[in-house]
Structure 1
């Protein structure tokens, strides 16, 4: 009952936050200067003219109109949904790969202390590599893979980059969870003559769930970010990232249109986190007190 009430208030505060952001947008547009704010000659706040900052209702109205003037062109909102679903599928593959890799690394580091000391610094260092430098390498390496009828496709490079961002929070969160059981519980398992593998299955993995679920949600959000950025860096077409670039090119003449895929990317991240939260329902009996990430 308490947990259900907590979820209700979490959703309520989320809606309140969205309303506040929308109110701030329109409030700044109404009260802010048309030239924006500058500090030492550098713009720190955007201009408030309709070209730079269209009204919210103008964005909604434009989303209901066709993408372009060609016959049979779908409405903007439908095109955004299609691109978002494309990106969601690629991000899901990357998230799944990254989660498996992160969990296996966490198990390795928990099993071997020397592996934790050797691997963990490299995991942290790996997240400092910019995606814009990594994407061309993955595309080039993937293009050389040819096994029988199998050939590397551009979306696979995007999924690899998504996995690259997703595995780190999962590895760190899972490691913390695997190390969370109290000494008295570990001693109890030893008294039962339970080996390492049985202790992992019966004690460490269930105990890691409150730490793992927030890490999986963070990994899902990271996979979405990686997918959007990788679509731009690798030139993969059909996803929400590529659509953001394409619609931005018409931002001068059609500014309200450019914000539709941006809103779609935000909603996509929320959907991904929500799907992982549904996964947590299946682990409810292990998740008595979820640890906030």
Structure 2
């Protein structure tokens, strides 16, 4: 009796077949798939970077506001959590439709901006929740010490709460980076944005029967893009900790 699922080479190609496919041309006489996947990842990276930056900034502002005003935390936090229950597959077309009617001054709204908006939508949540927990982490005795120095809320934020929040902030940023990649990939698939790794996954999946290893090259590219963003956040954390140690 079979307990574990079984797969054949058409459904799950060998790892070496996928690796070898990276060095082969995408089409006859075309560029190698590794180069095509790299170009697609770089295209998606722009949306990820913008979405991650905007999402992190929004999350930080929301966290500071919720820490500063108890009524804001009690009124806003449930909606922040509720926002993540909206399925992206339904939200992405709506954002793309709204974007088609917007412009940044004289600069028309571009399709990749809709993808970046979806990435920011997923990225702000872990930053807001993680940063709020970090800002609330200092012990009561430390807050009373700052009050005894006649330090106002702003100085307490800069000198006590922000340094204390870094152990919570960087794990949240790593999650936000991964979420931004997921949002960008799903956004490209849902909005039909061409040039990115998300669209490449859809295009390659059409050849799953004839060339199953080709499908996995795009998936590996998307996974490596997420690891690259997380590694950048980890490098920033390492540099900050090293600077603080010296």
Question: Normalised by the size of structure 1, how large is the TM-score?
Answer: 0.80
Q: CA deviation at 1:287?
A: 7.8
Q: Which has the higher contact order (CA 8 A, sep 6+)?
A: 2
SS in 2 for 1:65: coil
Q: How large is the Cα RMSD of the aligned pairs?
A: 1.8
1:61 aligns with 2:20: yes
Partner of 1:282: 239
Partner of 2:142: 185
- State the distance in 1 between where 2:239 and 2:61 align: 21
Partner of 1:172: 129
Q: CA deviation at 1:146?
A: 2.9
| Superposed CA offset, 1:213-256 (max 9, x none) | 00000000000111111100011111111101100101111111
| Superposed CA offset, 1:21-74 (max 9, x none) | xxxxxxxxxxxx9xxx69xxxxx83x52221121111112221110011x4x11
Q: Is the 8 A contact 1:207 1:286 kept in 2?
A: no
Which structure has the larger Rg?
Answer: 1
- State the distance in 2 between where 1:119 and 1:52 align: 45
1:98 aligns with 2:55: yes
- State the distance in 2 between where 1:89 and 1:260 align: 20
Q: Is the 8 A contact 1:142 1:157 kept in 2?
A: yes
- State the distance in 1 between where 2:21 and 2:109 align: 37
Aligned positions of 1:262-281 closer than 5 A: 262-281=219-238
Q: Which runs of 5+ in 1 are unaligned?
A: 1-32, 39-43, 289-293
* Count of matched residue pairs: 245
SS in 2 for 1:283: helix
Please, which of 38, 47, 51 is the counterpart of residue 10 of structure 2? Answer: 51
- State the distance in 2 between where 1:190 and 1:262 align: 53
| Superposed CA offset, 1:174-200 (max 9, x none) | 000000111111111111111101111
Aligned positions of 1:56-135 closer than 5 A: 56-69=15-28, 71=29, 73-135=30-92
Partner of 1:243: 200
Q: CA deviation at 1:283?
A: 2.2
Q: CA deviation at 1:281?
A: 2.3
Question: Normalised by the size of structure 2, how large is the TM-score?
Answer: 0.95
- State the distance in 2 between where 1:58 and 1:189 align: 61
- State the distance in 1 between where 2:62 and 2:149 align: 27
- State the distance in 2 between where 1:147 and 1:131 align: 24
SS in 1 for 2:42: helix
Aligned positions of 1:217-256 closer than 5 A: 217-256=174-213
Q: Which runs of 5+ in 2 are unaligned?
A: none
- State the distance in 2 between where 1:168 and 1:286 align: 28
Identify if the C-alpha distance between structure 1 residues 117 and 148 changes in structure 2 by more than 3 Å, giving closer, same or farther: closer
- State the distance in 2 between where 1:89 and 1:147 align: 18
4+ residue stretches of structure 1 with deviation over 3 A?
Answer: 285-288
